Amino acid sequence: MLMALFQTPSLMIVMTGALVGIAASLLGTFLVLRGSSMLSDAISHSIVFGIVIVWLLTRQQTGPFQIAGAALTGIFTVFLSELLASTKRVKNDAAIGLVFPVLFSIGVLLLNVYARDVHIDEHMVLLGEIGFVWLNTLDIAGYPVPQALLSMSLMTLLNLAFVTIFFKELKLATFDEALAKALGFAPVAIFYALLALTSATAVAAFDSVGAVLFIAFVIVPPSAAYLLTDRLTLMLLCGSIISIASSISGYFLAVAWNVSIGGVMAVMTGVFLMAAFLLGPRYGLVAQILRRRGLEQSNECRTLAVHLYNHEDQPEQAAENVTRALHDHLMWDEARATQVLIRSIDQGLVTRNGDLLQLTEKGRAEARRILEPWRMAGA
């Protein structure tokens, strides 16, 4: 039974993709909230440098040395960027954009010169191929477990443990760094630990999805989750769910179209983001437009109520509080005036008495609340 599962390539691929997504979005959530998501871009490029250096030293392409090396490279990249920015000669974003291309360039040159006939090349590092993860397996208790699945499971567990254990510290360091510092929570150490884990996850993920597609998993699912919820725990959960959904849907679409599986998985995160951007319950574009329209409509009804209130029981009432006057005095065209009137009657603000428009008690209260708020406070 279990044997059959491990021998199903599609399941192994989807699971690896989902694990990359979960591991990445757990950490990405904090990077996105902190406003430093582009650091993941810098890190995932510069780990090429770390991978080559570790390979030159140990001749190992994967494994714990590579992961540790990547973690160090990530920290090194961010440290160099912050050092450069601290000279105040270049801006923060320019510093990031200056450091990682240098490390990447050195990495690529070293690869070209020393490692021409080795299986690591910059295409592999940048693009990866998740479709082949099931080829490279390790025997664990007799089961052929794909190596990528194993390393991603470990990274996911590690990231999950980090986020769970340091949840309070992470939360405080992300939302109020100054307070975290004042309370002695070492936000800088937490931040660097986060980046070290991001780099380690990147190198564990690079042979399945590649470095650039890894960036998609770090930034896009947490961003989509950020558009859906205000609670940090929910955001972490939403990010993971979106990652899983992207992995599953990406796999099947990629197989149907016969294109890069990792690529479609990353594109799917973008599709979910756009869905959240358009249809999110509170921050979605549609919800925003609806809310704005609702506000506009209720303002129109309130305008009508105030207009009627001003002329109520006045001599000019017969001329002012009729449908015609809405067109002449409030500059509403026929259709709009009719709509507002219908809506106001529906809401029980206004009644129609022959030609005359009369406020109901509710409508009068509404107008008074706008015109004489001090009276309402007393009443």
Partner 1 sequence: MLGFLSDYTIQNVALGAALLGVISGVLGCFAVLRKQSLLGDTLSHAALPGVCLGFIIAGARQIGFILAGALVTGALAALLMLLLTRNSRLKTDAGLGIALSVFFALGVVLLTFIQSTGNASQGGLDSFLFGQAAAILRSDLWVMGVVTAVALSIVSLLWKEFKLVSFDPVFAASLGYPVLVLEVALTVMIALAVVVGLQMVGVVLMAAMVIAPAAAARQWSGRLETMVILSALIGMASGISGALVSALGPGLATGPLIVLAASAAVAVSLLFAPGRGLLWEIIRRARNRRNLRGKRVLTTLYRLAAHHHDSGYPSEQGMVDAYHGVGTTPVLKRLQARGLVEPVTHIPETTPHWTLTQAGIEEAESILTNLGKQES
Note the residues at the interface with partner 1 (CB under 8 A): 32, 35-38, 40-41, 45, 84, 87, 89-91, 93-94, 96-98, 101-102, 104-106, 108-109, 112-113, 116, 122-123, 126-127, 210, 212-213, 215-216, 218-220, 223, 226-227, 254, 257-260, 262-267, 269-270, 273, 277, 283, 285, 288
Tokens for 65?
A: 């040395």
Phi–psi pair at 183, nearest 5 degrees = -85, 0
Least separation in angstroms between CB 306 and partner 1: 32
Token pair 């390539």 is found at 9
What's the angle, vertex CA 159, arms to CA 157 and CA 160, rounded to 5? 60
For partner 1, the closer of residues 148 and 267 by Cβ is 267
Least separation in angstroms between CB 205 and partner 1: 13
For partner 1, the closer of residues 84 and 197 by Cβ is 84
End-to-end CA distance of the chain: 74
Q: Which helix (H) or strand (E) holds 214?
A: helix 211-228
For partner 1, the closer of residues 185 and 226 by Cβ is 226
Token pair 């884990």 is found at 197
Tokens for 14?
A: 């989807």
Tokens for 72?
A: 């160090």
What's the angle, vertex CA 203, arms to CA 6 and CA 43, rounded to 5? 150
Would you say 179 and 172 are in contact if contact means Cβ atoms under 8 Å apart?
yes
Least separation in angstroms between CB 280 and partner 1: 8
For partner 1, the closer of residues 285 and 330 by Cβ is 285
Least separation in angstroms between CB 105 and partner 1: 3
Listed residue (142, 169, 128, 180) closest to 17, CA to CA: 128
Least separation in angstroms between CB 251 and partner 1: 13
The interaxial angle of helices 187-206 and 211-228, nearest 10 deg, is 130
Reduced to 3 states (helix: H, G, I; strand: E, B; else coil), residue 267 is helix
Least separation in angstroms between CB 59 and partner 1: 19
For partner 1, the closer of residues 83 and 161 by Cβ is 83
Least separation in angstroms between CB 270 and partner 1: 3
For partner 1, the closer of residues 5 and 259 by Cβ is 259
For partner 1, the closer of residues 89 and 119 by Cβ is 89
